[in-house]
Amino acid sequence: MRLLPHESGFVVFRSGASVKANLDNFHRIRPLLNVEGAWEVAFDPRWGGPRSVSFDRLEDWTKRPEDGIRYYSGKAIYRIKFRADDNGKDRSLLLSLGNVCNIAAARLNGRDLGVAWCAPWRLALPEGVLNARGNELEITVANLWWNRLVRDSSLPEAERLTWIPGKYPFTGNEQLQPAGLLGPVRIYMRNAD
């Protein structure tokens, strides 16, 4: 049995069941292509983020110089266009998001791929959705409220974007939690030899 870090599976033992040897119940995968380049990222300005910004590479929001991104909590939409040449034709493919903080939903060429909410952060690509050229990938990522609450704790009440009952539990100096799509984003081929 082969499992990647944080991956799981079920093992079921049945009384009286016959044993079948040499079955491959777990997919072997190999990288087919990296989705790289500049990502356009749209944040919600109502929650302090910029309407649109370009990321030359995927990175943790808390490492960005802009306060509106560094302390952002909520949803952001990543968009990128890429080529796949003929890599995806007639193959069983997966989209790997790499590392995500904290949950992500993806669309490829307008087709909903579903939600990745835990490691290994992968989604199946339906047959025929990956094109040789002109692919448009959209990944919506949401993080936790921690970073915004830390920021608001250091602001006067009139400037805060959040509200909690009682006193804010932070000083504004707490360590921020990693946030965003950290990647690398890759397309894998399943059952690769």
CB 141 within 8 A of CB 181: yes
Report the C-alpha gap between 191 and 30 in whole angstroms: 8
Give yes or no for a contact between 139 and 97, defined as CB atoms under 8 angstroms apart: yes
Backbone angles phi, psi at 46, to 5 degrees: -65, -20
Stretch 95-123: mean pLDDT, rounded? Answer: 97
Token pair recorded at residue 83: 């080529």
Mean per-residue pLDDT, 71-92: 87
User: 7-11, 30-34, 87-91, 158-162: lowest mean pLDDT where?
Assistant: 87-91
Q: What's the confidence (pLDDT) of residue 8?
A: 74
The DSSP code for 178 is P
Prior bond to 184 cis, omega within 30? yes
CA 153 to chain centre: 28
* Residue 146 confidence (pLDDT): 96
Whole-number percent of the chain with pLDDT over 90: 73
CB 104 within 8 A of CB 181: yes
Does the structure show a pLDDT above 90 at 90? no
Query: Could you read off the pLDDT of 130-185 as tens digits, one per residue?
Result: 999 999 999 999 999 999 999 999 999 999 999 999 888 899 899 999 999 999 99
Residue 192 — pLDDT band, cuts 50, 70, 90?
A: low
Residue 111's DSSP bridge partners are 108
- Domain positions in the chain are 35-160+168-190
* Residue 128 scores a pLDDT above 60: yes
Asked if 93 contacts 192 with a C-beta cutoff of 8 angstroms, the reply is: no
- Give the span between the Cα atoms of 97 and 113, in whole angstroms: 12
* Six-digit token string for 69: 């991104």
The model's pLDDT over 32-43, given as tens digits with 9 standing for 90+, comes to 999 999 999 999
pLDDT number for residue 193? 53
Q: What is the topology classification, in CATH, of domain 35-160+168-190?
A: Jelly Rolls (2.60.120)
Assess whether pLDDT exceeds 60 at residue 22: no
CA distance 182 to 58: 5
Arithmetic mean of pLDDT, 11-28: 70
Q: CA 110, 116, 121, 126 torsion: positive or negative?
A: negative
CA dihedral of 153, 158, 164, 170, whole degrees rounded to 10: 10
